[in-house]
Structure 1
Amino acid sequence: MDITVEYASRNSVVETSVQERVIGAPYILTPNDVPIDRAQWKDFIYNKVRDFGFIIFRDFDINDAHHFQRFLQNDLSIKTWNVFNKMKVAGPIITFVRRITDGILGAGDNRSYLNSELQQLGRIDNSVQGPHVEGGVYNKRARYLFMYCEEAPATWGETGIADLNSVYKSLSPETQVALQDAWQQFEFTSVKRLNWLERAILVAGRIKHYLRPDEHMQMVMDRIPVLCRHPDNGLLCPQIWAYRGDSVYAAASKTFPERKPLDKECMASTWRLEWKLTQHNGNPISNKFALMDELINATFENSRLVRWQPGDITIVDNIRCAHWRMNGYADQPRKIYQLQAEPFLATDCIVELPN
């Protein structure tokens, strides 16, 4: 299949206010918008997500996080699956394991699990999180994300979303071509020497790792394509996992000037992380950081914001859309829960290059 280069000139980008970025119709669906027969809801939801990349259910009678999970699993027959807990370990245990792995890496997002799959997302602070697809360091990850708001902050604390095909189209032609044959791999270095329990968790989690000469541990993630062709509609979607804290900070400050001064995201600043970017044949791509920075800027430029209301359910296609946490105030309540569903392999969505 031939690859066509689509490019929207950066000169055509106009200043967009925060209010213009807040998601509204037709992405928000109420009970009046769905079929009367609930048996048709699952197909209806997935068709809408296929059309738009994400949708928001609003004003549905969902009482709390556990009701949200029952609604998905029982009423809609959604097959939930969590990339961070493939073995379905009990909630308190996987929360404990997450705290240990956060200590290995030097920072974490403080998410906790109510059970093996239902997780409460981390607290808000005055930083903007790097845009990412969920589980983007793994080849096998969830196809769909379901996020439920039990308690919304009075101001800010939104979730950012960007259509990655629109992001791709806005990149320079040179970057588009480079990404078509780009493969990435992330490697984490522990911030300390690991004890027996920490090593056992890496083994149990089937995380590839080896001991470095300095006795710190090197953890090697999967080698995966940067660009995926969407299995439903053929759209080209770069699978961003933006760890570059300085670049995220600069792009977020530029895109959301009314939010300044922002703090830098703590995880991106403390992780000891190496990002390898090569062609499929293994040849390194020399300007990889320039490509990543252009991708980060384009993602923020194409951003939309979910301004949460209690009871909202946001459904995201995790191939087509990146998401991230916007900044807010730590003293304002914010309870957002997440379920993931239907695993897929990124390597099944590679872009076939012309001979």
Structure 2
Amino acid sequence: MNLVPQRLDGSGGVLISRCNGESLLDLPTESVKSLMRSAGVVMFRGFDAGPEMMKQFADQYSYKFNRDRLRPTVEGSGGHVQMVTEGMGYVDPHCEQANSPFRPDALWFTCTKPAAEGGETLYWDGIRLWAALSDELKDVFRQKKLRFFQRYSKEKWQLFLGYDATVADIKKELDGVEGVSYFLNADEALYLEYVSSAVVQTRYGHVEAFANSLMSEWKNTLGDLMTFDDGSLITEDIVQEVKTALDSCTEAVDWQPGDLVFIDNSRFLHGRNGFTDTTRKIYSSLSFLNF
């Protein structure tokens, strides 16, 4: 079976449409992997995808999954399919869990009911973003790293490692990890400081990309403004320049029922337009890729 990809957007994302009644699971995996590597965003349309099919499809390309600590899980999915239900407002650009050492390789989304108006999933190519920043700001981000603070109850950090994970498991996971400092409280809550660069090497091609969670965390970290690792504030001027770059390369998924989308989390940021339709149903999985 030959795939016939169509251009999806200005970032190089591609669309694969169902042609002859084939299932997602019938698609040639090596061809799909090649598109995922090169495009970074791949939409599959017309395949009647849903949460169960998304998990089966993602299984073919993944060796393990983790979870978002704020989203409810779907029964029967082993906890690895979650509903995207956190509020209905605009969601700032971010890479999934890039504010922690638990960052997955890929995001998978599927839609069974789009919002009547709004609610599009937005995404931004970190390679294009990096190119759009001034040389002066690039120098700042090369010299200074982002610093994130997180608190996870035991039930929340077990979402990353598994429901039966122990304190010994979380220590084994974090000890020696670059940029990580942590403290475990008597109630087994985890207090974590995570330092990472705003510009990363993409998984495929090893190209510099501005792929991080600066914009979603800037005013959220412990209620205070974020700082760089040297303690200096990330100023409004810096954020405004990043916003201008983001505005220059925003892409959107205008959902149809049954759509499934793959996003390379090492390269692309994502977010969401606001909506008011309470019947909107989008599901997600987070995985580590096997290729």
Name the TM-score, length of structure 2 as normaliser: 0.74
Indicate which of 41, 48, 56 corresponds to 1:54: 41
Give the letter for the 1:79 counterpart.
Y
Give the letter for the 1:68 counterpart.
M
Q: Does 1:187 align with 2:173?
A: no
Q: Which residue of 1 aligns with 2:201?
A: 229
1:300 to 1:272, Cα distance in 2 relative to 1, 3 A: same
Is the 1:131–1:323 Cα contact (8 Å) retained in structure 2? yes
Q: Does 1:78 align with 2:65?
A: no
How far apart, in 2, do the equivalents of 1:123 and 1:69 lie?
A: 21
- The higher radius of gyration belongs to 1
How far apart, in 2, do the equivalents of 1:72 and 1:316 lie?
A: 12
Query: Which runs of structure 2 are paired with 1:109-128 in the superposition (5 Å)?
Result: 111-114=71-74, 115-123=78-86, 125=88, 127-128=89-90
Task: Report % sequence identity.
Answer: 18
Q: What SS does the aligned partner of 1:32 have?
A: coil
Give the letter for the 1:67 counterpart.
M
Is the 1:165–1:235 Cα contact (8 Å) retained in structure 2? yes
1:222 Cα shift?
2.0
Task: Considering fraction of residues, name the structure with more strand.
Answer: 2
Q: Does 1:27 align with 2:20?
A: no
Is the 1:23–1:307 Cα contact (8 Å) retained in structure 2? no
Indicate which of 130, 152, 156 corresponds to 2:92: 130
1:183 to 1:66, Cα distance in 2 relative to 1, 3 A: same
Q: Does 1:324 align with 2:271?
A: yes
Unpaired segments ≥5 residues, structure 1: 1-21, 85-97, 99-108, 191-197, 212-216, 247-267, 345-355
How far apart, in 2, do the equivalents of 1:271 and 1:140 lie?
A: 19
1:303 Cα shift?
0.6
1:80 to 1:310, Cα distance in 2 relative to 1, 3 A: farther
How far apart, in 2, do the equivalents of 1:33 and 1:305 lie?
A: 27
How far apart, in 2, do the equivalents of 1:160 and 1:291 lie?
A: 22
1:297 to 1:218, Cα distance in 2 relative to 1, 3 A: farther
Q: Which residue of 1 aligns with 2:177?
A: none
Unpaired segments ≥5 residues, structure 2: 1-7, 158-165, 175-181
Give the letter for the 1:220 counterpart.
L
1:31 to 1:77, Cα distance in 2 relative to 1, 3 A: same
Q: Which residue of 2 aligns with 1:141?
A: 103
Is the 1:124–1:325 Cα contact (8 Å) retained in structure 2? no
Is the 1:137–1:221 Cα contact (8 Å) retained in structure 2? no
Q: Which residue of 2 aligns with 1:342?
A: 288
Q: What SS does the aligned partner of 2:65 have?
A: coil
How far apart, in 2, do the equivalents of 1:328 and 1:146 lie?
A: 21
Give the CA RMSD over aligned residues.
Answer: 3.5
Indicate which of 158, 173, 176 corresponds to 2:138: 176
Give the letter for the 2:66 counterpart.
N
Q: What SS does the aligned partner of 1:222 have?
A: strand
1:244 Cα shift?
5.7
Is the 2:149–2:222 Cα contact (8 Å) retained in structure 1? no
Q: Deviations over 1:206-251 (max 9, x none)?
A: 493477xxxxx993232222211224213211232123678xxxxx
Task: Considering fraction of residues, name the structure with more helix.
Answer: 1
Moved more, 290-299 or 316-325: 290-299
How far apart, in 2, do the equivalents of 1:42 and 1:34 lie?
A: 17
1:284 to 1:245, Cα distance in 2 relative to 1, 3 A: closer
Indicate which of 254, 261, 285 corresponds to 1:307: 254
How far apart, in 2, do the equivalents of 1:65 and 1:313 lie?
A: 9
Name the TM-score, length of structure 1 as normaliser: 0.62
Q: Which residue of 1 aligns with 2:120?
A: 158
Give the letter for the 2:287 counterpart.
A
1:40 Cα shift?
6.0
Q: Deviations over 1:51-107 (max 9, x none)?
A: 222011000143x3123212332xx353341154xxxxxxxxxxxxx5xxxxxxxxx
Is the 1:30–1:59 Cα contact (8 Å) retained in structure 2? yes
1:33 to 1:234, Cα distance in 2 relative to 1, 3 A: farther
Query: Which runs of structure 2 are paired with 1:199-278 in the superposition (5 Å)?
Result: 206=170, 208-209=182-183, 219-241=191-213, 242-243=215-216, 268=220, 272-273=223-224, 275-278=226-229
